[in-house]
Structure 1
């Protein structure tokens, strides 16, 4: 079994999902009391939050590259950035790493492809919904991506940073998100990507009229699959092919 390195604390509320899902998946696959070989380097979230709001992404990159190197030095065979927004610097982390970096968008894309969908809605931080790094990577996999209207994007963004990363779950916010998903469905979305790892703490398919793709869960499952994959599949995944990530 390969060792999984998690760059977490982005926020720790959703990093918990990664640790739980990875270990559950390994136990399901191997049986008994098996669990994953894993490492977590958890950063102080306020530090990185301040940087992204100041548009100091080079410093974010430096911080996460350093976290990745520390995990690699400790024995990680694969790295994950436990956040959608912070995968904005995943390429920089990958360029300085000698082990694969599993990109969250590729894990999401594999999940969407497995359901046979072509048009999906995207919820996330303002950075994720409005900047090209996320939408373009999904589009490159053959999907049409739609985002909510501007006022709705602002509401989604505010709830993430004022509530979800602090562990605050409000019914009013859950209802607002459900209405936004309904609007995306009316715009032709066949499913919706929960493109912020904290959103799946608030909402799931029971609040949605269309399928949801929980990014943290999909990313964590991809990591478990990578850790347990035979060498042939491992080489494909390490090369950046997400085709077997959902197996």
Structure 2
């Protein structure tokens, strides 16, 4: 079994999802009390959050690249940046190491292709919804990506940073997200990408009029598959 290296803490609330899903999939495949060979490098989230709001992405790149090198040195055979937003520096990390870096958008894109969807909605941070680094990577898989209008994007963004990364789950926010998903469905979305890993703490299939595509879960499952193929 290959060893998975997780660049986590982005935030730790969702890094827990990765660790749980990866180990569940390994146990399901191998049976008994098997679990994954894995390493986690968890950063202080406040540090990186301050950097992205100051548009200091070069420093984010330096920090996460260092984390990737450390994980490789400790024996990781595959790296994951456990975040959609911070996948903006995925190419930098990949250039700095000699092991594969599994991009979260590719894991999501593969699932959308497998389901035959042609148009999907995207919820995430303002960075993920508005900047091209994530949407373009998704679009390369051959489908259209819809984002909510500006006012709704702001609501989604603020719920993530003011509530979800702090472990706060509010019914009012769940209802607001559900209404935004309804609007995306009305615009033709066949599914909705939960394009911030923390959104999976708040939204599930039962809250959505259309299928949800949970990015952290899909990313973790792809990593488990890679590890077990070794």
Q: TM-score, normalised by structure 2?
A: 0.99
Aligned length: 230
Give the corresponding residue for 2:149: 149
Give 4+ residue runs of structure 1 displaced > 4 Å after superposition: none
Shift of 1:226: 0.4
Distance 2:97 2:154 in 1: 35
CA positional deviation for 1:54: 0.1
Name the residue aligned to 1:192. 192
What is the aligned partner in structure 1 of residue 49 from structure 2?
Answer: 49
Secondary structure of the 2:25 match is: helix
5+ long unaligned stretches in structure 1: 231-247
Q: Does 1:99 align with 2:110?
A: no
Mapped partners of 2:87, 2:135: distance in 1: 12
C-alpha distance in structure 1 between counterparts of 2:140 and 2:36, whole Å: 32
CA distance, structure 2, for counterparts of residue 182 and residue 229 of structure 1: 39
SS at match of 2:121: strand
Structure 1: how far apart are the matches of 2:87 and 2:113? 20
Q: Which residue of 1 aligns with 2:6?
A: 6
Give the Å deviation of 1:115. 1.1
Q: What do residues 165-224 of structure 1 show as CA deviations (whole Å, max 9, x unaligned)? A: 000000000000000000000000000000000000000110001000000000000000
Instruction: Give CA deviations for 1:99-141 in whole Å, capped at 9, x if unaligned.
Output: 0000000000011112110100000000000000011111111
Q: CA deviation at 1:5?
A: 0.1
2:75 match: secondary structure: coil
Describe the superposition over 1:130-170 as per-residue Cα deviations: whole angstroms up to 9, x where unpaired.
Answer: 00001111111101000001000000000000000000000
More off after superposition, 132-141 vs 49-58: 132-141
**Secondary structure of the structure 2 residue equivalent to 1:198:** helix
Secondary structure at 1:148's aligned position in 2?
coil
In the alignment, structure 2 segments of 5+ residues that lack a partner are none
Report the RMSD for the aligned CA atoms in angstroms: 0.5
1:10-159 alignment runs, 5 A limit: 10-159=10-159
